[in-house]
Structure 1
């Protein structure tokens, strides 16, 4: 043989294979047997039914949350992952949760925890995207050859058969759906659809439970286009309904939401066309009326302009006249004041008041007695003439 495995290497390889398989976080129901809690706090037991038996281990951090009163013979439900213990080569279940109750009780607890997680990270607060008025391409993700698929395709044919519709068939329940359903959803997104419908027909809570599991929910949240959750019936409420853009009560209802009725759409188009035509005609009529009014205003514009120019010219002329008259009066008053001052200081005016002025032989005014004594003759200037005089000797 070309390849020879060492025992330990093979055991570890098998363990890694199991840990990366679909057998993680699976729900297992069976009869509790050989239950014991070690001093370390770890719990060891087996689950069995009429067809088989598996060893189980729950580490102390998990076992401390187990309910009280567990005893052999009780029917329990566990959430566990298949593992292999290499030192002993033993396949066992590593238990995460255990409930001494019905299957539904434990599953509902898992659902509640997932919803709490989605609320905490804001996934439930995302805005819903509206459905397209007329989808160009609808992709349906559902079970193969199912009654739900037949109903959905029938609705498409009844409402608008020309709308393109692609079907991706996959497993929608059981352990295989945990990986195959997310893969089918991502394949749908790769087709560039207008909208995606994911769902299945009715069934028991266990049958529908895949739509409450985190891998499927994460795939729904990845949708780049509006997505409709159409699982079960009106009374079924699943986590997929909370994270999808729209929830449909049934797969049939989903197609009624997504596919419009061709006849109704034609009526809507005719009505819209009539309204558009009427609105366009009214708009054109208003524009024609406005254009006519503009032409009338344009024709009378020169006459109106000349009248306004004449009024402006008259107003400016009046203003100029008032300003000129006011300025002239002000200058005349100023001239009168200057004339009065000059008249008051005129020597001839002083002579008229009884004064006389003495001039020497050279005609210059003599202002002092000493200057007069040196003159041989002088003239006295009166307002009405002159008189020649001579200075007298002292003796």
Structure 2
């Protein structure tokens, strides 16, 4: 035993510490956090474990103050640090210099950081989102030409509302994808003008869709003068492109249904609108025609011809009465004396004078009758023309030609702002078509002529 070299426990531990710290360079270690503790001093103590082993770790305050996330139990991370031995407990330990999330956790962290940044800058604000055209004529699609998403979109467009489609081939996966997607957006804005752009990709993993979380791509979508629909992945998948785009479609197929109307629905709507307008015009014509007939009947009794005939009838009646009276007087003459004859002559003279006066009046009326009749006819024609102009001015078609619009909520015609609510969708019927709009502000007219904004 005197020839044996015997080491103390401290010497062995010290030697191992020296060997480990001198021979093993700082390294990256991946594992799952367990036994996590943040000490009041600011130091963090935890273990990294996998299926077969556990490694104790110390993350001193001077290093962990630069963390941009809060570690949690069960979180998979990658730690960079230096191996050492804690002599008192004879256990080896990793002094951590830095920590980052591993795998999907890191992607989620990057996603949240970029989302918060762009949201703070206002890129997600509804006020900046452009409305989609109701009836687009040209649609640009930025996607992979070999993907199933493109075929789904084209099939639905052909069935619902055939339009001109221009495809810009782009990568939809990997680090090289964002530049090609940005190039497609710029192409449609600068060279091949379209009414709306669809940014599309089929379903995939979080890693496969991560190219749509690129900051430069988000800014290109925001700067686009053309409305953009983001149709990436499935309904449960969300990317930064979805938040910046003017409209987010849950799937590429849904984007095709949202970007164009259904031509069958349009035809049915136009037929219903045509029928309503026709019935309205027919009803207005019926009412106006009855008014004209009533005026015509009233005009008949005031017509100069009717007045002249009535006056002539009275003269004829007076003539008959005169002749009857003359006959009676002649009979009386045979029975009366000369005085009676003189009285008869006197009466006859008076009657003849009266009759002569009546005849003169009749002659004057006969001379003035044509001009009076022409005047009355002219007045009647002018009044009928005014009625026709009034009828035309209230015609729905005429009002639409003048620039007015028919505001509808479904089948109901809106006549007051009191019937409206914010964000409500309305239909505007104009002379050459219709448009779908959404109520953003309501300005009722007050008694003093001012308006107030209802929130």
Relative to the length of structure 1, the TM-score reads: 0.49
Larger Rg: 1
Which one scores higher on RCO, CA 8 angstroms, separation ≥ 6? 1
TM-score (norm. length: structure 2): 0.43
